[in-house]
Amino acid sequence: MREEMMANRALKVLHVEDDFADAMLVQHAVCEAGDLDIAFEVARTLRDAKRLLGRNDYDLVLLDLRLPDSIHPRDTLETTQSHAGDTPILILSGSMSVDAARLPDDIARLDKNESFRKSCGDVPVHLAHRIREAVGEADIQTI
């Protein structure tokens, strides 16, 4: 039932990503999948993310692990967790092959570079689905 509710409502996502092109790629992929009810707000630094999390409510935080003001993945994750409260976090990072060993063992890992490099046509649908799926779950996921 909760999954159906998540699939039918508009979502507000805080995308913490310092690379403008990567942020646009994610938004384009979600729109290309036909999911026009996911609104993104982009924070380019951890400081901006903390400020936005203090002022606004989000359904999900989409988090890059390496930011200009936080280059240590574990610190980035822990700081985000402390400011996000109960908001689910979905990790989308191009450095997962390097950072996997620095994260807790219970987080699944998939490098964003691998996700977008696939030649199959379902990548946009997959990303939109994973975003909606993460909102319905209360843990931390990595794609």
Position 62: which residue type? L
Which DSSP helix (H) or strand (E) runs through 121? none
49: left (phi over 0), alpha (psi -120 to 50) or beta: alpha
- Per DSSP, what are the bridge partners of residue 38? 11
Mean pLDDT of 114-127: 58
pLDDT tens digits, residue range 50-95? 999 999 999 999 999 889 999 888 899 899 999 999 998 888 877 7
Burial class of residue 57 in the structure, from the number of CB atoms within 10 Å of its CB (0-12 exposed, 13-18 middle, 19+ buried) = exposed
Q: Has this prediction a pTM greater than 0.85? A: no
Average pLDDT of the chain to the nearest whole number = 80
CA angle 103, 108, 114 (to 5 degrees): 100
Read off φ and ψ for residue 39, nearest 5 degrees: -100, 130
Please name the residues in contact with 44: beta carbons below 8 A apart, sequence gap of 6 or more.
Answer: 17, 18, 20, 67, 68
